Amino acid sequence: MSARTARPEVAETEIPRPPFPWQGWIAAVAVVGLLWWSSMPPPIGTGFNLREVVEGWPQMQVFFQRLFPTPDRPWPLDYLPQIVNRMTETLKIATAASIFGAVFALPFAMLAARNLAAGRIVYGFGRGLLNLIRTIPDLVLAALLASAFGIGPLPGVLALTIFTFGVVAKLLSDTIETVDPGPQEAITAAGGNRIQQALFAVFPQVAPDFVAYSLYAFEVNIRAAAFLGYVGAGGIGMILNRDVKFFNYGRVGLIITTIFVTVLIIDTVSTTIRRRLV
C-alpha cells in the first residue's frame, strides 16, 4: 500500500492515444481485395472458389484411392524394373547437372563478388548475368532445349546445369562478399595476384558453403528432374506423363511412390551432410 502511494505520479499520467495502425489495415484490405479479384469468374479472375473444392473432393478421393493397391487390384510389380531404370536416369540427369553447374559456378561466383571482381564492369556484368539466368524457370528452359536438341536426357541435363549454375553462383557470390577480408589483405600484402587471393584467402573460407549450396541444388534438381520428362527432357517424368494419360492408375501410384521414397532418402542424407558442414 505504502509502496504504491510512493509513486502517485504514475496513476495521474495520461496514456497518450497510440497512433492508428495503418500498415496492418492496409495489408488486410489488400489481401482481401486480391483474393476477391482472383476468385472472380474468368476472364477477370480464376473463378476459384471453395465450393468447387468441396464438391470435387469425393472424386479426388476416388482418384487417390485408385493409385494404391487393393487385393483385387495389386500394383503391377513387373513394371518396377522399368521404373527403376527411368528413376536411375533421373538421378543421373540430376547428378550430372549438379556437378557441371557447381563446377562452372565456382569461378564465376568469384567474378560476381564485389571483393574479388576485377573492376565494376566485370562485377556488374557477372551480377546481371546471374540475375538474368534465374528469371528463366527450369521447366521452360527444359522445354525450349528439348525442342532444340530433341527428346532425351541431354536437354534435361543442360537445363538443370544452367539452373544449378545460377543458384550456386548467386548464393556463393553473396557469401564471398561476407568473408573476413583479413586473409585477402595478407595475400595482397605478400604480392599475391587476384587469382591467388581467390584461391588461398577466399576459397578456403567459403568451401563448406560451396558444398552445401551444391547439395541444396542437387536436392532441388532431383525433384525437378523427376518432372522434366513432362516436357520431353528424359527421366521418370516421361513414363509418369504417359501412364497418367492412359489412366494406368496402378503404374502411376508405383511411380509416385518410387519418386517419393527416392527424394525422401536423398533429402535426408543431403540435409544431414549440409548441417554437419555449416
Partner 1 sequence: MPSERPSVEPLVVLENVSKRYPNGHLALDRVSLSFRPGEFVVIVGLSGAGKSTLIRCLNRLVEPTEGRILIAGEDITRFGDADLRRQRAKIGMIFQNYNLVRRSSVLRNVLAGRLAHLPTWRTVMGWFPKDDIRLALRCLQRVGIPEKAYQRADTLSGGQQQRVAIARALAQEPMILLADEPVASLDPPTAHQVLRDLKLLSREENLLTFVNLHFVDMAMEYADRIIGLRAGKVVFDGPTTGMTESTFEEIYNRRIRPDDLRGAVDDRSPTPLLPETIVVR
* 40 scored as a contact of partner 1 (CB under 8 A): no
Residues 161-180 that bind partner 1 (CB under 8 A): 180
Query: Where does this chain touch partner 1 (CB under 8 A) — which range of 47-55, 96-104, 186-194, 224-232?
Result: 186-194
* 185 scored as a contact of partner 1 (CB under 8 A): yes
Output the smallest distance, CB 219 to partner 1, in A.
25
Could you say which of 82, 115, 205, 271 contacts partner 1 (CB under 8 A)? 205
* 199 scored as a contact of partner 1 (CB under 8 A): yes
Could you say which of 104, 149, 200, 230 contacts partner 1 (CB under 8 A)? 200
Query: Where does this chain touch partner 1 (CB under 8 A) — which range of 77-85, 134-142, 197-205, 216-224?
Result: 197-205
In this complex, which beta carbon is closest to partner 1, that of residue 95 or of residue 188? 188
In this complex, which beta carbon is closest to partner 1, that of residue 162 or of residue 198? 198
Residues 237-276 that bind partner 1 (CB under 8 A): none
Could you say which of 10, 15, 54, 189 contacts partner 1 (CB under 8 A)? 189
In this complex, which beta carbon is closest to partner 1, that of residue 24 or of residue 182? 182
Are the CB atoms for 198 and 116 separated by under 8 Å? yes
Phi/psi for 201 (5° steps) reads: -105, -40
* 42 scored as a contact of partner 1 (CB under 8 A): no
Could you say which of 182, 245, 275, 276 contacts partner 1 (CB under 8 A)? 182
Output the smallest distance, CB 195 to partner 1, in A.
6
What is the secondary structure of the chain as a DSSP string?
-HHHHT-HHHHHSPPPPPPP-HHHHHHHHHHHHHHHHHTSPTTTS----HHHHHHHHHHHHHHHHHHS-BTTB---GGGHHHHHHHHHHHHHHHHHHHHHHHHHHHHHHHHTSTTTSSHHHHHHHHHHHHHHHTTS-HHHHHHHHHHHH-SSHHHHHHHHHHHHHHHHHHHHHHHHTTS-SHHHHHHHHTT--HHHIIIIIIHHHHHHHHHHHHHHHHHHHHHHHHHHGGGT--SHHHHHHHHHHTT-HHHHHHHHHHHHHHHHHHHHHHHHHHHHH-
* 236 scored as a contact of partner 1 (CB under 8 A): no
Footprint of partner 1 (CB under 8 A): 180, 182-183, 185-193, 195-196, 199-201, 204-205, 207
